[in-house]
């Protein structure tokens, strides 16, 4: 699932950023540490955080019916995949220019384009919303770069929300195709005169 997201983002950037040609491997997903040596110019999307999106959590199960059976399935888990994006071009001016192009390309798409979705992402019923320029989940960028042993660079935080379904559909039985209705009719007609329910005597019985 995450691999399909990586492939989708690579295709998106190679399509919309002229510096990133499809014939070159210039969109990376490696840690931008001191050992990272991409072919320039390049963009690196480092996946640094994966967590559930509680704001999009749903409790509504889906139910599907056919002629012979019915199934139900819990809602998928909405998961935020957050990338730290850096540009690599050999000098700061070129890197900032490239990062600006990437930023504009990503901002043009509040959801990932359907025609670019790869693998399992293409089968999702829910759209894949994106968020760029939001605060990252890193406590400190300085500590992040220090931990990687690399030189600090301008970064762009980018998050895509995918839907992950960990459960199979559950068969709940055959659907109802017909039914029988029984209607009880209550009579409001009064009892006949002289019946035991009235407490009266029939003619000729008085005084016996």
Query: Residue 62 falls within a domain, yes or no?
Result: yes
Residue 177's pLDDT is 55
173 domain-assigned: no
Residue 69 lies in a domain: yes
What the block records as the tokens of 12 is: 């998106």
CATH number at 20 reads 3.30.2000.30
pLDDT score for 135 = 87
Rounded to two decimals, what is the model's pTM? Answer: 0.74
Q: What does the pLDDT average to over 8-31?
A: 90
| CA distance from start to end of the chain | 98
**Which single residue is written with the structure tokens 């983002």?**
9
- Residue 25's pLDDT is 82
Q: In this predicted model, what pLDDT tens digit does every residue of 42-53 receive, in sequence order? A: 999 999 999 999
In this model, does residue 34 exceed pLDDT 50?
yes
For helices 2-16 and 92-107, what crossing angle results, to 10°?
110
Q: Inform me whether the pLDDT recorded for 193 exceeds 70.
A: no
Does 187 reside within a domain?
no
Domain annotation covers residue 172:
no
Domain that holds residue 111: 2-166
The reply to whether 185 falls in a domain is no
Q: Is the dihedral of CA 118, 115, 39, 138 positive or negative?
A: negative
Residue 162's nearest CA partner among 111, 201, 99, 90 is: 111
Take residue 93 and report the two structure tokens written for it.
Answer: 């001016």
What pLDDT was estimated at residue 207? 47
Report pLDDT for 208.
Answer: 44
pLDDT band with cut points at 50, 70 and 90 for residue 178:
low
For the chain, the average pLDDT equals 83
Q: For residues 71 and 64, give the distance between their C-alpha atoms in angstroms, rounded to a whole number.
A: 5
Mind listing the pLDDT tens digit for each residue in 53-88? 999 876 665 556 666 676 666 788 999 999 999 999
pLDDT tens, position by position, 117-171: 999 999 888 899 999 998 888 888 889 999 999 889 999 999 999 998 766 655 6
Give me the number of domains the chain comprises: 1
Whether 176 is covered by a domain: the verdict is no
pLDDT at 69: 73
Is the previous residue joined to 7 through a cis bond, with omega within 30 degrees of 0?
Answer: no
Can you tell me the distance from the alpha carbon of 170 to that of 60, in angstroms, rounded to the nearest whole number? Answer: 15
Tokens standing for residue 206: 């008085």
Whether 188 is in a domain gets the answer no
């Amino acid at each position: 699932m995450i691999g399909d997201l990586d492939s989708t983002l690579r295709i998106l950037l190679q399509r919309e950023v002229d510096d990133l040609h499809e014939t070159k491997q210039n969109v990376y997903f490696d840690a931008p540490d001191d050992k990272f040596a991409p072919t320039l110019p390049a963009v690196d999307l480092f996946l640094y955080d994966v967590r559930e999106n509680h704001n999009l959590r749903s409790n509504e199960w889906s139910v599907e019916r056919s002629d012979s059976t019915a199934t139900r399935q819990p809602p998928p888990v909405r998961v935020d995949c957050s990338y730290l994006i850096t540009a690599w071009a050999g000098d700061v001016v070129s890197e900032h220019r490239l990062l600006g192009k990437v930023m504009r390309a990503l901002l043009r798409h509040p959801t990932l384009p359907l025609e670019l979705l790869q693998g399992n992402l293409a089968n999702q019923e829910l759209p894949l919303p994106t968020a760029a320029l939001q605060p990252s989940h890193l406590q400190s960028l300085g500590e992040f770069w220090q931990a990687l042993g690399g030189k600090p660079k301008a970064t762009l935080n980018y998050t895509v929300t995918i839907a992950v379904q960990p459960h199979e559909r559950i068969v709940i039985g055959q659907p109802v195709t017909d039914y029988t209705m029984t209607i009880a009719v209550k009579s409001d007609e009064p009892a006949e005169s002289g019946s035991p329910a009235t407490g009266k005597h029939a003619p000729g019985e008085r005084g016996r």
